[in-house]
Chain A
Amino acid sequence: MTTAESLEHQTRASLYIPSPARVIGVQQMTDLEVLLQLAFDNGRPLDHEPGQFVQVSILGVGECPISVCSSPTRPDHFELCVRRVGEVTTHIHKLEEGDVIGIRGPLGHGFDVAELHGKDILIVAGGLGIAPARSLIQYILDERERFGAFHLLYGSRSPSELLYREDLTLWRQSPDVNFHLTVDRPDEQWRGKSGVVTTLFKELPQLNPTETMVVIIGPPVMFKFVVLEVLARRIPQKSIYCSLERRMKCGVGICGHCQVNNIYVCLEGPVFKYGQLKALREAIE
């Protein structure tokens, strides 16, 4: 490398180079989902907002965007729930404690927690949506005195696909959260509720429309049904948050893959106000 070139490298920071993070724990949650605990070697926290995501790198395979599923109030490490769906995630599933992977981020906009402070909170999560929701759930539980009533509804396709089983037990027993759970397709052992997540709305007490903030995270098909239930309880659109899934590649608002109309989800999202989204025609379809 010439002097000019090395100078060039010192003064230019590439957006695309990941930082190394070490796997400090691996937990197989279901056939498809693994929970990774990660930490940077120098001990620095990820310093994220609940709802933000990171780009996970397996060098030689590629990158994929994954929501952070732990709260910044637990800064000694961060957690990612990864579903095995493609090449990169298949490699992530082979990771063991001590392995090092690349992380870019935190990226995007998460939940504006300052706006949620002092409010009653309703979180509705479907399927893998419980992962990004968990970063906020943990935050609320850790900062409990800053919030009013806290309701959590979680719908899963089947009992075998339930994520965070230890957390579910904890939440069910906790006086700090009014938690309800349902599965679409119960098996013979299932003793809980069955039906889609919207059937859980009948478990909720009267919600105060001016004091309740609602967070909806789930597969695309879920959004409109849940939004309908929420609006029917007279909660204004500005009090509804949604988190969107898109194909993020660069994660920094350039490459175009996650663009919905004129919005780059990786920059302005993945967390949006419903009011922002309903004007975007491709956002919830």
Chain B
Amino acid sequence: MLDRIILHSDLMGLVDELAHKRRIIGPVARDVPECDPPVRYFYEEVDHADQLDLSFNYCVYSPKRFLTPPAETLFAFSPDDEGLAGTPDYDPRPTVLVGIHPCDIHAIRLYDRVFDIEYRDEHYFARREATMIIGLDCRVPCTEGVFCKDMGTNGAEEGFDVMLYPLGTDGGNVRYGVMFGTSAGREWLLYSRQSVVPSDDDKRTFEKYRAEKETAFPFVLHTRREDLPELLSRSYDSLLWDATARRCYSCGSCNLSCPTCYCFDISDETDLTPGAGRRTREWDGCQLPDFALVSGDHNFRAKTASRLRHRIYRKAVWIQERSGRVGCVGCARCDRACTAKICSVEIYNQLAEEV
């Protein structure tokens, strides 16, 4: 349901007001000369809303690093602690994520679940609960090769505080339809009085927007998402894993760029003062050769093919089985990040044709 209408300039004014209380994270255009076209978008921290570019197609990386950073301190310790660890290091900085696409919202919803299945990871939730999310719906696919429609993630009904729908322009100013996702989002927008109640015209435009969106996104997979578990259950011994693994460098770029990857390693850093330091966690990737190595040099997934298969099964089946939420959001960042041009869509489709 459409709750409000707000113009882009008014929205940016509101974001600027938020900057007094929260750090602002959103899409920023950057020149990357070796790319064609040379402009790429990245989620970054900004001081002012006018540094954001909400007309972006997609961001190279998902916003996951603002919820679970590439490296973080779990706790610090000092020589006086005598084995007793110090206080946990939480990061409850108030933050607002602006311009988050539905695929990444689904990925955050997955994190909200996987960091709280049997045990609740407060290091994640300290950040998450201090984070406000302003979503931005996609009217059309952000780029070629995405398969969000197949994964059911090209729209989101929850997981945001407010969601913006770009319904058109008003004298060069984008006119957003707004849907509230939380009471906090509702209060924030209504308090400012910058937005208006949608007119009947707005409601019709919104209906048309949604209808057009139905046909604007293509299906890319040759199988339905619901059939992936069945498909993969018959594909464990496929030679495709070995064939694809010939090209894989085991570099982990797919893990790094994936909005639903959340595996990590834990290690200690020490200071120059003996006995002082901190325990940290860092992103890790299941494609890296020693990910499943145990003491005594036994590696449970020593072969590239077994690691590749592990990643695809996790994304397509296992994460969903465990968490009840979709494990791959179809953003195709892994496919774009792969140096060897290994493409998850191609893997799914080749498997679908094998059987």
Q: Is the CB of A254 within 8 A of B293?
A: no
B226 is an interface residue with CB less than 8 A from chain A:
no
A89–B314 Cα distance when bound, in Å, is 32
Cβ-defined partner of A14 (8 Å) among B88, B265, B291, B294: B88
Closest 8 CB pairs of A and B: A100-B83, A256-B263, A14-B88, A12-B122, A262-B318, A252-B119, A85-B295, A20-B83
**A86: nearest residue on chain B (CB-CB)?**
B295
B82 is an interface residue with CB less than 8 A from chain A:
yes
Q: Which residues of B contact A59 (CB under 8 A)?
A: 77, 81, 83, 85, 268, 275, 277, 279
Known: A16-B123, A256-B263. Contact between A61 and B322, CB under 8 A?
no
Query: Which of B75, B83, B284, B313 is packed against the most chain A CB atoms within 10 Å?
Result: B83
Q: Which residues of B contact A85 (CB under 8 A)?
A: 295-296
A262–B248 Cα distance when bound, in Å, is 23
Q: Which residues of A contact B275 (CB under 8 A)?
A: 59-60
A245 is an interface residue with CB less than 8 A from chain B:
yes
Q: Which residues of B contact A262 (CB under 8 A)?
A: 313, 317-318, 321-322
Q: Is the CB of A20 within 8 A of B123?
A: no
**Chain A interface (Cβ within 8 Å of chain B)?**
4-5, 8-9, 12-18, 20-21, 57, 59-64, 83, 85-86, 89, 99-102, 219-220, 245-247, 249-250, 252-257, 259-262, 267, 281-282, 285
Which segment, of B2-10, B13-21, B110-118, faces chain A?
A: B110-118
The smallest C-beta distance from A251 to any residue of chain B, in angstroms, reads 9
Q: Is the CB of A261 within 8 A of B318?
A: yes
Q: Which residues of A contact B263 (CB under 8 A)?
A: 255-257
**B321: nearest residue on chain A (CB-CB)?**
A262
Q: Which residues of A contact B55 (CB under 8 A)?
A: none
B238 is an interface residue with CB less than 8 A from chain A:
no
A267–B118 Cα distance when bound, in Å, is 8
A101–B115 Cα distance when bound, in Å, is 27
Known: A85-B295, A254-B114, A257-B292. Contact between A12 and B125, CB under 8 A?
yes
Q: Is the CB of B268 within 8 A of A249?
A: no
Cβ-defined partner of B236 (8 Å) among A12, A220, A281: A281
Which segment, of B46-54, B183-191, B211-219, B298-306, faces chain A?
A: B298-306
Q: List 7 A-B contacts (CB under 8 A).
A: A16-B74, A60-B270, A60-B275, A61-B268, A247-B295, A247-B300, A254-B119
B267 is an interface residue with CB less than 8 A from chain A:
yes
**A19: nearest residue on chain B (CB-CB)?**
B84
**Chain B interface (Cβ within 8 Å of chain A)?**
74-75, 77, 81-85, 87-88, 90, 92, 114-115, 117-123, 125-126, 236, 262-268, 270, 275-277, 279, 281, 284, 286, 291-296, 298, 300-301, 306, 310, 313-314, 317-318, 321-322
Q: Is the CB of B262 within 8 A of A254?
A: yes
A259–B313 Cα distance when bound, in Å, is 12
A52–B126 Cα distance when bound, in Å, is 30
The smallest C-beta distance from B50 to any residue of chain A, in angstroms, reads 30
**Count of CB-CB pairs between chains A and B under 8 Å:** 142
Q: Which residues of B contact A281 (CB under 8 A)?
A: 236
Cβ-defined partner of A247 (8 Å) among B82, B83, B293, B306: B293
Q: Which residues of A contact B281 (CB under 8 A)?
A: 16, 255
Q: Which residues of A contact B313 (CB under 8 A)?
A: 261-262
Q: Which residues of A contact B306 (CB under 8 A)?
A: 282
Known: A60-B270, A86-B295. Contact between A253 and B125, CB under 8 A?
no
Cβ-defined partner of B284 (8 Å) among A17, A255, A267: A255
The smallest C-beta distance from B1 to any residue of chain A, in angstroms, reads 35
A38–B145 Cα distance when bound, in Å, is 56
Q: Is the CB of A16 within 8 A of B279?
A: yes
A86–B291 Cα distance when bound, in Å, is 16
Q: Could you list 10 further interchain pairs (A-B, Cβ under 8 angstroms) beyond the known A219-B296, A247-B300, A259-B292?
A: A12-B90, A16-B75, A16-B88, A17-B74, A59-B277, A100-B84, A220-B298, A252-B121, A255-B264, A282-B300
Q: Which residues of A contact B265 (CB under 8 A)?
A: 249, 255, 257
Q: Which residues of B contact A220 (CB under 8 A)?
A: 298
A87–B295 Cα distance when bound, in Å, is 10
A61–B275 Cα distance when bound, in Å, is 10
Q: Which residues of A contact B114 (CB under 8 A)?
A: 254
A86–B267 Cα distance when bound, in Å, is 13
The smallest C-beta distance from A14 to any residue of chain B, in angstroms, reads 4
Known: A14-B122, A260-B300. Contact between A249 and B75, CB under 8 A?
no
Known: A12-B125, A60-B275. Contact between A249 and B83, CB under 8 A?
no
Q: Is the CB of A60 within 8 A of B286?
A: no
The smallest C-beta distance from A218 to any residue of chain B, in angstroms, reads 12
Q: Is the CB of B82 within 8 A of A100?
A: yes
Q: Is the CB of A246 within 8 A of B300?
A: yes
Q: Which residues of A contact B267 (CB under 8 A)?
A: 62
Q: Is the CB of A12 within 8 A of B126?
A: yes
Q: Is the CB of A255 within 8 A of B266?
A: yes
A281–B82 Cα distance when bound, in Å, is 43
The smallest C-beta distance from A110 to any residue of chain B, in angstroms, reads 16
The smallest C-beta distance from B112 to any residue of chain A, in angstroms, reads 13
Cβ-defined partner of A20 (8 Å) among B82, B115, B286, B294: B82
Q: Is the CB of B266 within 8 A of A249?
A: yes
